[in-house]
Amino acid sequence: MPDSLQVNLGQRSYPIRFGDDLSEELGSRLGALREEGRKLVIVTDETIVTAQSEVLAKIAGAAAICPVPAGETAKSAIRLGMVWDFLAAQKMDRGGVVIAFGGGVVGDLAGFAAASYLRGVDFIQVPTTLLAMVDSSVGGKTGINLGAGKNLVGAFHQPREVFVATRLLHTLPAREFAAGMAEVIKYGLLGDAKLFEQLEATPLTVDSPELAAVVRRCCVAKAEIVEADEFETAATDGRALLNLGHTFGHAIEKVAGYSVYLHGEAVAIGLVAAARLSVALGLIGAEVVGRVEVVLSAHDLPIRLREPISQEALLTAMSSDKKVRAGRLRFVVMEAIGRAVTREEIDSEVVSAVWSEVGAS
């Protein structure tokens, strides 16, 4: 039996199952659902259809496969409508189950389709990227992007199960693995100093013997935060802490165009910006920024914008971020490595100075 971790959310509780190769367990689970007469649809992306063809063949059975284009641009209203139409064409009823087999984009898109089709059907997360394994597949945030900003439309819809099979990472391009490491490093910065120190001492790779343990460690951290603040309603801190680096990162993604930076690459620059903002607020010393930059660089992640981007455009993008409350943008900053807090009412000139430090014009 695979190792498992329970996310405790009352009636919405579910297990995260961990293992090297879970295709047999997943295939048995989907087979049992089919025997119950439940319609199954696997949403994946076109790259994964090729890269994980053997695993798909093992688990799919009679399930219909709905491929979407790879990349962040698939998180759109047009693509969401196409997934809805696919579910309708398969005659999925309220007993149906959507299986999200892919990275964060597939999970967000398929999860939102499941949350909204027939006002909600069950779904199962099978993350195939490091970023999805340690972060986006857990916690029930689903959604799509709008022209005005990232993840502005969505729903909280918890999966019924999550299957984390680390063998899937061996077909992941190196750039995608590195992007996932931004989220791993984030967990170290916001609440796990020992994890950060471990990554400082020895950069994590897809062949590292400790990879599975690190993935599980991040999922434990995510589960604890979600259990305490499932719908991100805490007045301070809470689930919002998971947005460390993301207020800056989402602005970079939007302004640069979603095909220029991978999500994790934008978050990496955002983590540097958040550290620099923390210095500007007098919360940490400048040496912490250096440590953050060294760890990110060691994991092949950017620490500055590759090309200058307009500060004005970035600040405008920030103003439409979903973390704005009562007209005030909430930032996540660090009081130390391993301890983060939320702050509001930060002077825009301070934020502009930080953007300049990471290469904005």
- Which residue numbers are catalytic? 119, 141, 183, 222, 232, 239, 243, 246, 250, 263
Q: What is the rounded CA–CA span in Å between residue 102 and residue 108? A: 10
Least Cα distance to 183 among 195, 167, 197 occurs for 195
Four-point Cα dihedral 321, 322, 323, 324, nearest 10:
70
Straight-line distance from the first to the last Cα atom of the chain, in angstroms, rounded to the nearest whole number: 54
Structure tokens that stand for 317 in this block = 């993008």
Report whether 182 contacts 199 (CB < 8 A): no
What is the CA 43 to chain-centroid distance, rounded?
17
Those residues whose C-beta lies under 8 Å from the C-beta of residue 301, and which sit 6 or more positions away, are 178, 179, 181, 182, 185, 264, 265, 268
Exposure string for 277-305, b = 16+ CB within 10 A, e = fewer = bbbbbebbeeebbebbbebbeebbbbbeb
Structure tokens that stand for 199 in this block = 């990554």
Q: Looking up tokens 């607020």, which residue turns up?
A: 281
Report whether 167 contacts 21 (CB < 8 A): yes
